[in-house]
Amino acid sequence: MDIIQAIAGALAPALSMTAEDAAALIEFQPDSSRGDYSLPCFKFAKVLRKSPPMIAKDLAEETFPPIIARAEAVGPYVNFFTDRAAFARETFENPPTLVSDAFAGKTIVIDYSSPNIAKNFHVGHLRSTVIGGALTRIFRAVGANVVGVNHLGDWGTQFGKLIVGYLSHSSEKAVERGGISELQRVYVQYHEDAEKDPSLDDTARAWFIRLQNGDPEAVRLWSWFRELSLREFEMIYERLGVTFDAVTGESFYNDKMSAVVDELRAKNLLTESDGAMVVRLEDYGMPPCLILRGDGGTLYPTRDIAAAQYRRTVYGFDKCLYVTALDQTLHFAQWFKVAELMDDSYADKLAHIPFGLVSLPEGSLSTRKGRVVMMEDLLNEAVRAARSIIDERSPNLADKDAVAEKIGVGAVIFNDLYNNRIKDVVFSLERMISFEGETGPYLQYTYARASSVTRKAGVTGETNYSALSEPLSFDVVKLLSRFPNAVAEAAEKYEPYIISRYLIKLAQVFNRFYHEIRILSASESERPARLALAAAVKNVIGDGLRIIGVSVVDEM
């Protein structure tokens, strides 16, 4: 039974509205002393021509389903108190599905991670990768058909620069030996050279034009750099538990961009500006959107429009999300507007999902200057820290290396997803690896604790749900019932942190219950219900962690 729907069905006739509309007004009440649900009555005063307190008093006298023990009018609110045993039974025996009517069957394309090839995968790439991966799993959980796309940065003038740098400062043997790190060194060296000799930029642009035109040597070098990069990226993705349905970088759309330019010309949207071709957007409060450089080279907007058109044709998406940094907001606003001017049938389905910056206490990151923290190094350091704690606290734990990997990597992921994505993230290894406080290891430890309880339980008897009516137990039950709401809200708002915060709250309430209420040593009439509660907490924390991309640990 959906309790909110049950309350709404009873109230709808008195409010002269549909049960669905009434349900949207009913609020979950976290403070059980004031009920389990409530209805504010301010909205009805004008229509019913009564004061909100009088409306609340009248509504409290309606007849409700048996699961509602009583309804009380408190000022302009109606507070609904459930039959706690019946509420617990519904929560455990008929849990609501995570699938949401708002998303079931919809096709969601999510463009995320998207690192530049030939550059080290550093912590600046983490946010798009982790947030995008979480959103991918969230939308799958609510029933959407999700296409996760890794739109690699594998095209553009920077590859002309890389080729020039490689030819001047490296060799095939050095690159095979050093991998991306060698290519990164070459890229940094190129910029140092170009500061002294700006003509190198002209040489780099010429190499990129050769690449665009299919020059064999340019294509050979580029393909080699790309393949080498993907091998190294895949090792990071495997550790982070991130997979993609399509890895189609900017280069994939090279033969599709001329059609975009032709369409813009045919619709009289292109204007010449200092040799370049642009779409004027002054009427929309934005600077012009560059489509072609003076030398005919394409730019990011051209490629993004070509990619969006391809995805519309191939996937028929209901939404196409772009998980990138906040500082790219103007870029997306510009090409979204150009897409709308070209064809407004799908432009409103495009959405930029921005996030704040990531840094370490030492300061911000810059690939060009070479001041970066490698993702592999950060993960390794987190795993080492986790292993040190395990050695101290659980020296006899089996598979310590495997557990440390899950805890360390999970700590990094959870730290990134704990706050609203628009907030900047500063990594503090000591804080995020802690087993206390609002961290990934704390949740993993709580999951392991609940697992331990259920493992030790043995055979149990019939479940008496009235054993969960006391306040501490019922607080856990109420939170368990809200898991589908947290997942649905995270999908609606594109905010994984809603699930992260929910899991922390559930773990905190469960741990209070664990410390103050007997479980394994409870009486025969109480023990099965309390074990059922521990099992439900284990399942929900496990499902929630997996949805946001954090591995669970059965023993710690």
Q: Are residues 53 and 111 in the same domain?
A: no
What is the predicted pLDDT for the residue at 226?
A: 94
Is 220 a domain residue? yes
What is the predicted pLDDT for the residue at 159?
A: 93
CA distance 440 to 435: 8
Q: Are residues 53 and 112 in the same domain?
A: no
Q: Are residues 54 and 119 in the same domain?
A: no
User: Per-residue pLDDT for 370 more than 80?
Assistant: no
Q: Are residues 148 and 230 in the same domain?
A: yes
Q: Are residues 62 and 111 in the same domain?
A: no
Is 315 a domain residue? yes
Per DSSP bridges, beta strands 358-359 and 289-292 are: unpaired
Q: Tell me the CA distances in angstroms from 86 to 26, 71, 82, 91, 96, one per residue in order.
A: 20, 16, 8, 9, 15
277 beta partners: 272, 292
User: Per-residue pLDDT for 366 more than 70?
Assistant: no
Is 97 a domain residue? no
Supply 427's token pair.
């990594």
Q: Judge contact between 128 and 325, C-beta under 8 A.
A: yes
Q: Are residues 186 and 313 in the same domain?
A: yes
Confidence class for position 556, pLDDT limits 50, 70, 90: confident
Report which of 519, 407, 436, 414 is spatially closest to residue 472, judged by C-alpha positions: 519
User: Per-residue pLDDT for 122 more than 80?
Assistant: yes
Is 134 a domain residue? yes
Check which CATH number belongs to the domain holding 45 and give it. 3.30.1360.70
Which domain-ending residue is among 342, 359, 376?
359
For the chain, give the mean pLDDT.
Answer: 93
What is the predicted pLDDT for the residue at 31?
A: 82
Supply 175's token pair.
């690159």
Q: Are residues 39 and 149 in the same domain?
A: no
What is the predicted pLDDT for the residue at 311?
A: 97
User: Per-residue pLDDT for 238 more than 80?
Assistant: yes
Cα dihedral sign for 510, 512, 515, 517? negative
Q: Are residues 326 and 233 in the same domain?
A: yes
Sheet order of strands, 289-292 included: 270-273, 276-279, 289-292
Q: Tell me the CA distances in angstroms from 229 to 120, 179, 217, 289, one per residue in order.
A: 8, 8, 18, 30
Q: Are residues 207 and 315 in the same domain?
A: yes
Chain centroid, CA 406 distance in Å: 19
| Tokens 């730290």 found at | 415
Check which CATH number belongs to the domain holding 518 and give it. 1.10.730.10
Q: In the 8-state DSSP scheme, what is residue 290?
A: E
- Indicate the SS3 state at residue 270: strand
Count structural domains, the chain.
Answer: 3
Half-sphere exposure of 311 (CA within 13 A, CB side): 33
Check which CATH number belongs to the domain holding 133 and give it. 3.40.50.620
> pLDDT for 23-37, tens place per residue?
999 999 988 888 999
Q: What's the domain range around 13?
A: 3-82
Q: Is 356 exposed, middle or buried (0-12, 13-18, 19+ CB in 10 A)?
A: middle
| Tokens 């310590």 found at | 400
**Distance linking the first and last C-alpha atoms of the chain:** 37
User: Per-residue pLDDT for 360 more than 80?
Assistant: no
Is 289 a domain residue? no
What is the predicted pLDDT for the residue at 361?
A: 65
Q: Are residues 422 and 478 in the same domain?
A: yes
Report which of 369, 360, 337, 361 is spatially closest to residue 350, judged by C-alpha positions: 337
Is 11 a domain residue? yes
Is 373 a domain residue? no
Query: Alpha-carbon Rg of the chain, whole angstroms?
Result: 28
Q: Judge contact between 123 and 375, C-beta under 8 A.
A: yes
CA distance 231 to 127: 20
What is the predicted pLDDT for the residue at 259?
A: 95
Q: Are residues 76 and 111 in the same domain?
A: no
CA distance 292 to 278: 7
Cβ-proximal residues to 364 (8 Å cutoff; 6+ apart), any chain: 357
Report which of 442, 408, 413, 451 is spatially closest to residue 548, judged by C-alpha positions: 413
Residue 37 phi, psi (nearest 5): -140, 160
Is 222 a domain residue? yes
Q: Judge contact between 373 and 363, C-beta under 8 A.
A: no
> pLDDT for 397-447, tens place per residue?
999 999 999 999 999 999 999 999 999 887 788 889 999 999 999 999 999
Confidence class for position 368, pLDDT limits 50, 70, 90: very low
3-state helix vs strand vs coil in the chain, percent to 5: 60, 15, 30
User: Per-residue pLDDT for 478 more than 60?
Assistant: yes
- The CB-based long-range contact list for 169-176 (8 Å cut-off, 24+ gap) reads 175/224, 175/228
What is the predicted pLDDT for the residue at 509?
A: 96
Q: Tell me the CA distances in angstroms from 120 to 222, 226, 528, one per residue in order.
A: 16, 12, 53
Q: In the 8-state DSSP scheme, what is residue 328?
A: G
Q: Judge contact between 41 and 52, C-beta under 8 A.
A: yes
> pLDDT for 172-229, tens place per residue?
999 999 999 899 899 999 999 999 999 999 999 999 999 988 999 999 999 999 999 9
Q: Are residues 544 and 465 in the same domain?
A: yes
Confidence class for position 7, pLDDT limits 50, 70, 90: very high
> pLDDT for 269-285, tens place per residue?
999 999 999 999 999 99
| Tokens 């032709």 found at | 262
27 beta partners: 38
